[in-house]
Structure 1
Amino acid sequence: MKSESFVSVVLNTQLTSNELTSKLNQIHELLDANYTDYEILIVSKGPYRDVPRVSSIDQTLKAIPCVRLLQLSGCVHDDIVWAAGLENAIGDFVVLFDHLTDPVEVIHTAVDKCKSGFDVVVGVSNQSIPPVYKFLRETATRILTAIDYHIPKNSTGLRCLSRRAVNAVTDTGRFHHQFYMRIQKTGYPIAELVYEPLCENQVKNSIVYGFRNLVRLMVFNSSRPLRWMSIIGTLGSFSALLFAIYSIVVNMIDGHVVQGWTTTILFMSILFMMQFIMLAFFGEYLSRLLDDRSEQAAYSVVFEKKSAVMVNKDRVNVLSKSTAEEPNLVQTGRDR
């Protein structure tokens, strides 16, 4: 028996290829077999001038029902792309799905887990990772925990949110560099969903990519790193004062200043390193202030295309029962 819950699956892609069409067919077959109402929302970022006016997506919209294409005007951050999909999805449950790495079957599993009482379901990969990257990722996790960002170990981009969790995310300000942080801070119950991605090579486990994300999350979601840099600067200044006193004492007692030349150069190098680290963070925070002061919208939609068939024509908005038979503990839909 099909579930009466409305499920939205959001995809982030810029390319319309045969592989995408094949994946859309698989998603459609899964949703059609398990749910009465559903939609597949494709969010494509710009720039719009590089988007072909006639593409294979038009044929896909004619062949596969319940597909929506949302074309953004500019090349925005992936956080904003996912946020645009979340804001425009109309389902009781919204699944953020990576068509390159996530298996289609995980959609149904994530929705069922969400119905069991967890408003936010986070995907976790069970693939093995290199030891070096594992160590760096654990270190990054400890740092993010210090700024109150708690993410499961080996988490992926897969998310499933109930409607009330979606509303909590979309009603709380700007999305830029804060999307996953806002999801984690909705206050609703969160559960992990362990699964095996399709292709290990497609998983973004680059050390450079991870470091960039770490700095972005730290700077744009908390002011604690700024305090850490202040502490480093204070310690550096105090160390410089002690070394200056030491140099004066040595000069008064021994008089051979040349003997401390190597130590002086080394210490000056350390101080300059601290200063440049602090300046880098200050520059990032200035960028954050400028971004927060901007009056521009996070994104703009150029156009929206839909499938030729979007809803079941035989279904009317009349229900024979006031409550649903299937369990739904997140109070999404009519089972309240």
Structure 2
Amino acid sequence: MKLLDTIISVILITQNDEDIIQERIKEINKELKKLHASYEIVIVDNNSTDQTVEKLHSLHKTVPHTRMLVLSKEYDTEIALTAGLDNCVGDYVILFNIYTDPPEVVPTIISRLLENYDIVIGESKYDIIKRSFLSKIFLKVIEKLSTHALSYRTNYLTALSRKAINSIIRTRRKSRNFNYIHYLIGYKKSVLVYKPIKKFYYKLKKENFFELFFAVTDIIISNSFRPIRMLTFLGMAASLFFLLYVFFITLLAIFFDTRVAPQGWISLATVLGSMFFLLFSLLTLISEYLIRVLNEARNEPFYFIADEIDRSIILPKKNRRNIA
């Protein structure tokens, strides 16, 4: 693997990981040393409330090519990863999950990236989080309906070339679903199947169906026009059917003196209730789109950094390796 005059950045997120953070970074550092390239480990702390930051301060003395960004508050995982991408300097970048990803995957995924790919997505051999049958069915339906082959993943192991990184950080939309952004930029990508480690599964956040439903719905509404188009089509189809029904019974009444119009308020209430349900569903969806349009229109930063340790001074083509 030829990595001369190349810088590799590994970005990872921490949040209340004082019990594992030093062990994990030392393991990653050990694998990076084998590559014989300049590298940095960019640690984005997502507003830890324990001793994680203090542990990282002390670790920096023994692993000098680590950098840390401390976010001012807790952000979504995608925003925290964006903070790392905005501040890394690598020619190649790995998004690394310290709870699931084995350090041994680092040289493997970099090797795949060097096979003329811009994006390499890590895919777990098995489900990292056990989901209910209902959740699995819901995700299957969403994947089929999605306009960009949505795949809702718990892990986010990904390797990126500098070209892909620059394109991603130029995409300044508030909804930072990386699966959609990869689809949007359209660069050549590959999938690397790997075996995750189970040792730190206890650190993963629990997930129930309702949390999954709202998270995936937000991704779909933020990145696709298909929901509003489908609901609009359904409303138009129901309205047309109702008009044809009225036209049909009117013809029967005029030409055949046959009255088949529904009797009583139950039939009328059913028809009107269905129509109003579709109408207000459409209005609700429109309001969700308007909220997102207003959110995107605000010229606000994605995140705020409360503290930063050792801003990178790596420069390409220096005659030294493993520098900070």
Shared fold (TM-score greater than 0.5)? Answer: yes
What range describes the TM-score normalised by the shorter chain of this pair? 0.7 to 0.9
Q: Which moved more, 1:272-281 or 1:159-168?
A: 272-281
Q: Distance in 2 between matches of 1:271 and 1:281?
A: 16
Q: Distance in 1 between matches of 2:9 and 2:133?
A: 37
Q: 2:7 aligns to what?
A: 6
Q: TM-score normalized by structure 1? A: 0.78
Matched, 1:279 2:283: yes
Q: Per-residue deviation at 1:175?
A: 4.6
Q: Distance in 1 between matches of 2:210 and 2:76?
A: 17
Aligned pairs (5 A) from 1:1-336: 3-4=3-4, 5-46=6-47, 55-127=54-126, 132-144=134-146, 147=147, 149-150=148-149, 156-199=155-198, 202=204, 206-244=208-246, 253=259, 257-258=263-264, 261-306=265-310, 317-318=318-319
* Gap change, CA 1:242 and 1:115, over 3 Å in 2: same
* Partner SS for 2:9: strand
Q: Which moved more, 1:32-41 or 1:298-307?
A: 298-307
| Identity across matched positions, percent | 26
Q: Per-residue deviation at 1:54?
A: 6.7
Q: Per-residue deviation at 1:78?
A: 2.1
Q: Per-residue deviation at 1:38?
A: 1.2
The unaligned stretches of length 5 or more in structure 2 are: none
Q: Distance in 2 between matches of 1:316 and 1:238?
A: 68
Q: Distance in 2 between matches of 1:229 and 1:8?
A: 44
* Gap change, CA 1:85 and 1:59, over 3 Å in 2: same
* Gap change, CA 1:277 and 1:51, over 3 Å in 2: farther
Q: TM-score normalized by structure 2? A: 0.81
Q: Per-residue deviation at 1:255?
A: 7.8
Q: Distance in 1 between matches of 2:41 and 2:57?
A: 15
- Could you tell me which amino acid in structure 2 is paired with residue 192 of structure 1? V
- Could you tell me which amino acid in structure 2 is paired with residue 30 of structure 1? E
Q: Distance in 2 between matches of 1:196 and 1:143?
A: 29
Q: Per-residue deviation at 1:98?
A: 0.9
